[in-house]
Chains A and B, each alone.
Chain A
Amino acid sequence: MRFYGTELAGGLMLGTAQYPSPESLAEAVRAARADVVTVSLRRESAGGRAGEGFWSLTRDLGVPVLPNTAGCHTVREAVTTAHMAREVFETDWIKLEVIGDSDTLQPDVFGLTEAARILCEEGFRVFPYTTEDLVVAERLLSVGCEVLMPWGAPIGSGKGLNNPFGLRMMRAHFPDVPLVIDAGIGVPSHAARAMEMGYDAVLINTAVAKAGNPVTMARAFRLAVDAGRLARDAVPMEERDMASPSTPVLGKACLV
């Protein structure tokens, strides 16, 4: 699947926050064979280049960087952060987060669509962190987004895919739009499930960074993403309510 013209075949994006150290982050990125790393700018920058030390470490990971606007609560903050991200990382990619509630970290979809409109007009390639709401998704596409990043569950919750019905519907509704599960994935089986559903990628941060062994967990996620995608390519069987015997019942002794 191509994301704004760039092939990201591996289906695994890694966030860079909360690792025990930059060294363990780098090892996790290698173990995950991550396609992309996301980096936050808002809190680290203090309005300037104060985060440069860490940002240059992420640039050295050898993986495309998708800067994000994590921690932004308003359209203006998000737009300003995106401008800075373009300058710092020399990319027009931006993972757009506009947070509506500081406790649940739910996206503010109203601010999100407005910020997405402004940034798309300015030529940014916007990766919006959104919900599985189809109307919001349509609006994001109509203002120029070509990728959607619905949540699985609230950021950092590790709850997995909270609304599989809604996420399946989203996949069916937008068969040609690259879709990434952005938040809430806790264990590799959640990631495998998302890929089996036909999602193009998953974005993981807390589940790897806060694991007892981030590097081993990164590898587990790589295996799960590969397994889920292989399963999807192999066309899984449909679920049934009844058992389906693989040998005929007819002709067997009937012991009542």
Chain B
Amino acid sequence: MSLSVLVRGSGVAGLSVAAELVSRGVEVTVAEAASRPGSGASRNAGGMLAPWCEAESAPQEVVLRSAGAIDWWERFVPGVIRRGTLVVAPPRDVRELASFGSRTSGFEEVGAQAIAELEPDLAGRFAKGLFFGEEAHLDPRRSLAALVSFLERGGARIVCDCPDVPPGVFGRIVDARGLAARGVLTSLRGVRGEMLVLRCPDVSLQRPVRLLHPRIPVYIVPRADHVFMAGATMIESEHEGGITLRSMSELLGAVWTLHPAFSEAEIIETGTCLRPSWSDNVPRVTERDGVVYVNGMYRHGFLLAPDCARRAADLVCGERS
């Protein structure tokens, strides 16, 4: 009889574990407390697969564990775009580029001409930048939906409106519920993030662009059809209310700085969420009382979900043999 595994939670962590398990021939049930899968923090992610840029503030472990992440996503979902990341700074903050470069690797320094070739719409706007050519990005919502359909095709069962363990006999349980698991994982905390979605027909970007600023660094990720996601704040707060005027002004100011044509953009959505985080801000896969916990994805959900999925699946499958 094949192993039957329950995965609790259908954010990027839960769905990735489920997909990895299905690809290993495991029978999977996903239980989601909300009315549809993928409706938590993952939905508001940037979707940047940018380990080299993240090294600016993340520990080396994050970079190491992201190896193979882009390939993993390409295996499971369409729409992974490998065009790298461009990092620029306005003239006043150009020194931030040197500082960013000193903490990261895997980039080349680019001048005005190379920036214009990479991003024609930014021609003439920035004299210097850093180009991280190996990085990639994806659309988180489409990717989560693609994981769901992969699971359904693979025979997995997805049960929504199910905050508890659904009926059934499960050989193992994987808990990837994010902050909802803090009853057990008591040292988890939430880190508030706020983002905007804009539609701007006047601007095209080929890849995520990060605009450096000493206090308000912002990234802008292009989606299909001239839609852009701008984010994201990092606030040590568990307030779940809407985006604040200050955060929105800062994000919009940065987007405007990137290109004045954004001033005519339509703001089609604002979002806030709490990123489940451990005290070192590094995701963990742990086992306690027979349950495998995947949690604390922090701002590395899409980047480290493949690593967490493999680790969790190894734990689950290793137990079987």
Q: Which residues of A contact B (CB under 8 A)?
A: 20-24, 26, 43-46, 48, 50-54, 57, 156, 210, 212
Give Cα A57–Cα B279 distance, bound, in whole angstroms: 9
Contact between A53 and B189, CB atoms less than 8 A apart:
yes
Contact between B215 and A156, CB atoms less than 8 A apart:
yes
In the bound complex, residues from chain B placing their C-beta under 8 Å from that of A50 are 192, 237-239
* Known A21-B280, A53-B236; 15 more pairs at CB < 8 Å: A21-B281, A21-B282, A22-B189, A22-B281, A43-B235, A43-B237, A43-B246, A45-B239, A46-B239, A50-B237, A50-B238, A51-B236, A51-B238, A51-B239, A156-B215
**CB of A158 to closest CB in B, whole Å:** 9
Asked if B102 is an interface residue, CB under 8 A from chain A, the answer is yes
Contact between A44 and B279, CB atoms less than 8 A apart:
no
Contact between B238 and A52, CB atoms less than 8 A apart:
yes
Proximity bits, B84-104, A CB within 8 Å = 1, else 0: 000000000000000100110
Give Cα A63–Cα B190 distance, bound, in whole angstroms: 23
Asked if B318 is an interface residue, CB under 8 A from chain A, the answer is no
**CB of B30 to closest CB in A, whole Å:** 28
Asked if B68 is an interface residue, CB under 8 A from chain A, the answer is no
Could you jot down 15 A-B contacts, CB within 8 Å?
A: A20-B58, A21-B282, A22-B279, A23-B279, A23-B281, A26-B279, A43-B235, A43-B237, A45-B237, A46-B241, A48-B239, A50-B192, A53-B236, A54-B189, A54-B237
Asked if B124 is an interface residue, CB under 8 A from chain A, the answer is no
Q: Which residues of B contact A (CB under 8 A)?
A: 57-59, 99, 102-103, 189-190, 192, 214-215, 235-239, 241, 244, 246, 277, 279-282
Knowing A20-B57, A22-B279, A212-B102, the reply to whether A44 touches B236 (Cβ < 8 A) is yes
**CB of A122 to closest CB in B, whole Å:** 26
Give Cα A125–Cα B44 distance, bound, in whole angstroms: 42
Nearest-neighbor residue (CB-CB) of B281 within chain A: A21
Give Cα A23–Cα B241 distance, bound, in whole angstroms: 27
Knowing A20-B58, A46-B241, the reply to whether A54 touches B236 (Cβ < 8 A) is yes
In the bound complex, residues from chain A placing their C-beta under 8 Å from that of B215 are 156
Give Cα A212–Cα B58 distance, bound, in whole angstroms: 10
**CB of B224 to closest CB in A, whole Å:** 33
In the bound complex, residues from chain B placing their C-beta under 8 Å from that of A26 are 279
In the bound complex, residues from chain B placing their C-beta under 8 Å from that of A51 are 236-239
Nearest-neighbor residue (CB-CB) of A23 within chain B: B280
